[in-house]
Structure 1
Amino acid sequence: MGAGGLVGGTVLVTGASRGLGREAARWLAERGFTVIAGTRAPALIPGTDVLALDVADEASVRAAVAHVKARHGRLDALVNNAAIQIDGTDGVLDLPLETLRRTLETNTLAPLRMAQAFAPLMGKGGRIVNVSSGGGQLSTPAAWAPAYCISKTALNAVTVQLSEGLKPKGIAVNAVCPGWVRTDMGGAEAPRSLEEGAASILWPILEAGPDVTGGFWRDGKRIEW
C-alpha cells in the first residue's frame, strides 16, 4: 500500500463479464493487482481469476468467500459493480412492487451481503467501492427508472452505514458514480467512455488515501448525496 491508493493486492470485482466491471477488472490486472472477476455467466477475462458468482444468491456468495479464502487467503478491495435495471420510463405510480423488490435485491441488498461476507477477509487499509449512480442522488431527484434510482439511493445509505461500521477495522467504504457511460445499460448515446467510467470507479482504490471513507464520488471529486 502506498501513501494514497493501494499498490498491488487482491481485488474482487462483481459483474465483471462485461461493461464497467470488465473494464475495471482489466485496469486492475494491467496495474499488477490480483483480480478476481465475479461473473454470473462464463467469461474469459485475461489476467484474472474468473469466479462464478451470483451476488443475489446467498449460497453463491458463501462459496465465493470459501474460494477466495482458500486460493488467495485475503482480500484487499471489493468493487460492488453488479447491478440490474429492469424497469423502464414509466413513473413511480406505475412501478410494479415486484420490479422494485428484484432491483433492490441485486442493487442494494447484494452489496451489503458481499460486504458482510468479505469484510472478515479484509484488513486495515482495505477498500470497498459501491458503484452507485447519479440517479440515486436525493439532491437532484431522478425519475427515469424509479426502481433503479430508488435502489441506488438505498445503496448510498448502505455505503454510509458500512463506512461507520468498518471504521474500527480501518476499511474505507465509498460510493462512486461512474457517470453516463456507453455500456449495454447506458446505451450508445451516453457521453462517457468505458475508460472514463472505470477510472471513476477505481479512484477510491488507486488514488484515495485509506482515511477517505463514507463519501459519494465522481472522477475523484465529492458529489452531493
Structure 2
Amino acid sequence: MTLAAFLAVAALLTMGAVSPGPAVLMSARTGVTEGLRTGFFLAMGIGLGAVFWAALALSGLAALFKIAPALLWAFKIIGGLYLIWMAVQMWRHAADPLPDTTGQPPRSALSAFRLGLVTQLSNPKPAVVLSAIFIGTVPPNTPLWVLACLLAFLFTVETLWNTIVARLFSLPATRRAYVGAKSAMDRSFGGLLALLGAKIAAT
C-alpha cells in the first residue's frame, strides 16, 4: 500500500468517525453531565469498539453478512433495542437533578469505558461501512504492520474526536445551559438515541 493510499483510507476513517451517530451523541451527553474525565474514558471505549468492528471487517465480515444476512439482522435488532433501552432510561430520569461532579465523578473510569464500548458495539453498521472502505482501498496483500497502523489510527481518531465532543459539552457555558433545561434536553437526547436505535434495527 502506497502512502497516498494509506492517507486516503485515513481520510475516509476520519470522516466516518466524525459523522453523527450514537457514539457522538453519548459523548456529548456524558461530557455535559459528567465532565471531561468520564468523557475521555467513554471515548476510549468507543475507539476500541471501532477497532473491533474494523478488525472484523478486515477479516471478511461483509462476506459473512452476505452469506448469512440473518446474522446482520440479529446484530441490528439487538443493537437497536439496546440503544432504545438507553433512550428510555434517559427519558425516565430526565427530571432528576444533575449529579454533583465537584468530587469523584459519578461514573468510574471502567464504567465509562464499558459504556463507550457497548455503545459502539451496539451499532453494527460501522462494520459494513468499514468493509466497503477496506474492500475498495486496501489491497489483499497489505502487510500486517500496515493494517495495524490503520487500526491504531482508527482508535486514535475515534478517541480524539469523541473526547473533543465531550470537552465541548463539558464547558461551563454549555453545562449552565444544560442545567437550565435539563429535563427538555435529556428527553431530546433520549428521543434522538431512540430514533437512531429504531433506524439501526429497521434498516
Higher-helix-fraction structure: 2
TM-score of the aligned structures, taking structure 1 as reference length: 0.29
Of the two structures, which has the highest relative contact order with CA contacts closer than 8 Å and spacing of 6 or more?
A: 2
TM-score of the aligned structures, taking structure 2 as reference length: 0.31
Greater Rg over alpha carbons, structure: 2
Higher-strand-fraction structure: 1
